[in-house]
Amino acid sequence: MTRRVLVLNGPNLGRLGSREPDVYGSTSYAGLVEQCTALGAELGFEVEVRETNDEGEMIRWLHEAADGSIPVVLNPGAFTHYSYGMRDAAAQRTAPLIEVHISNPYTREEFRHTSVVAAVATGTVAGFGLGSYRLALRALAAELTG
């Protein structure tokens, strides 16, 4: 049986490939979607990748995941550092939630060093480019089978 997984992305992640390629790489958002769905299929997941610039929409998606016991890979983008509403929605999780970041926030501006999500996530993967998503999906698979 295939397990549904949501890969949720916050603000500006839809601009991958054109947004600061020295930080976020040159792969487009469509490339990220392709990578996540392909690896997900290998792992037995039906992966749905979403992106929003709207905090309320992100909160609704996290509620959907909690209500359906759907595992989540979450790149909150800038919401990471200040969205207590998103953090509270993530805290309601009923399945594993892996926080992911393309860059390593601790090597960047000081305001990026704080994650309001980390304390309620199963774990965090950061600093490996789009490989962070692949590592997060593999960690999710291990959590669900272990």
Name the binding residues: 75, 81, 88, 102-103, 112
Q: Which residues lie closer than 8 Å to 136 by C-beta, 6 or more apart?
A: 73, 98, 100, 125
Tokens representing residue 81 in the block: 């550092």
Q: Is 11 exposed, middle or buried (0-12, 13-18, 19+ CB in 10 A)?
A: middle
Which residues does the annotation place in the binding site for substrate?
Answer: 75, 81, 88, 102-103, 112
Which of 105, 78, 136 is CA-nearest to residue 23? 105
Pairwise CA distance, residues 72 & 136, whole Å: 9
Catalytic residue among 24, 82, 84, 106, which? 24
Task: Calculate the dihedral angle through the C-alpha atoms of 31, 129, 74, 49, rounding to the nearest 10 degrees.
Answer: 0
Pairwise CA distance, residues 88 & 12, whole Å: 22
Catalytic residue among 63, 82, 84, 101, which? 101
Examine the residue annotation and report whether 63 is marked as an active-site residue of this protein.
no
Active site residues per annotation = 24, 101
